[in-house]
Amino acid sequence: MAIAYKRVLIKISGEALAAAKKTGYDFDFVSTVCEEVKRCVSLGAEVGIVVGGGNFWRGVKDGDGKIERVSADRMGMLATAMNGMALVDVLGQCGCEAKLLTAVDIQGVGERYDTKKAIEYLQSGKVVVFGCGTGMPFFSTDTAAVLRAAEIHADAILLAKNIDGVYSDDPRKNPEAVKFDEISYAEVLARRLAVMDTTATSLAMDNDIPVIVFALADPANIVRVLSGEKLGTLVK
């Protein structure tokens, strides 16, 4: 099978790792996702992953005004580090070597993020999991995904979500919502569509990185998108 993108950054939400459990991990689902990532590597792709932390903590939302924003965001960074450790371990059990690079120093958890080191790992066939977001409060893991994609010169961002693409409105609330096969960054921003936050979308636009939005409900979609199958929505 030929691949359409040599180096990709996959963004996975923390909630996706919990699947129907909503919190923590559904390890059957996590293992299935990791097997698909292994398939990507076996096809010759270089794979980086940014994972969210929402299966444990959703920053400001969970802080609910009781925890100061900076502290709430840093708690979220720690949640992404936990998820990164889980992914690295399960990938290893699948026979796929992976490294966790964190944006903040957490001794014994992962290596401190370094762009050159990340690229070296990717070129050697290792999956690189990026933890702790950007390392700074007020920035989402969507922004971290685009930032890391730009730094490692990724050919595309594979945005795995709970929805199968970009719609004109929330299809769960509006049955008349229309799904886009392709849409520009500028239109996403103008329409304020909930693809990524505006900082992440602007950064992707400025660096001309295509974003493919697709549903992770079937983890095999990862390989389908990598191979160039028309799936979900292409934002470019």
Burial of 217 (0-12, 13-18, 19+ CB in 10 A): middle
Pairwise pLDDT comparison (61 vs 113), residue with the higher score: 113
Helix 141-151 / helix 198-206 crossing angle, nearest 10 deg: 10
| The token pair that represents 172 in the structure block | 């769960």
119 band by pLDDT with thresholds 50, 70 and 90: very high
Average pLDDT for the chain: 95
Percent of the chain beyond pLDDT 70?
100
- Contacts of residue 178, Cβ cutoff 8 Å, sequence gap at least 6: 167, 168
The whole-model pTM stands at: 0.95
Nearest-CA neighbor of 157 among 212, 207, 105, 94? 212
Quote the CA–CA distance of 41 and 115 in Å, as a whole number.
20
Question: What pLDDT score does 133 carry?
Answer: 96
Q: Residue range 105-126: average pLDDT? A: 97
62 band by pLDDT with thresholds 50, 70 and 90: confident
**pLDDT above 90 (res 64):** no
Residue with tokens 């790792």: 17
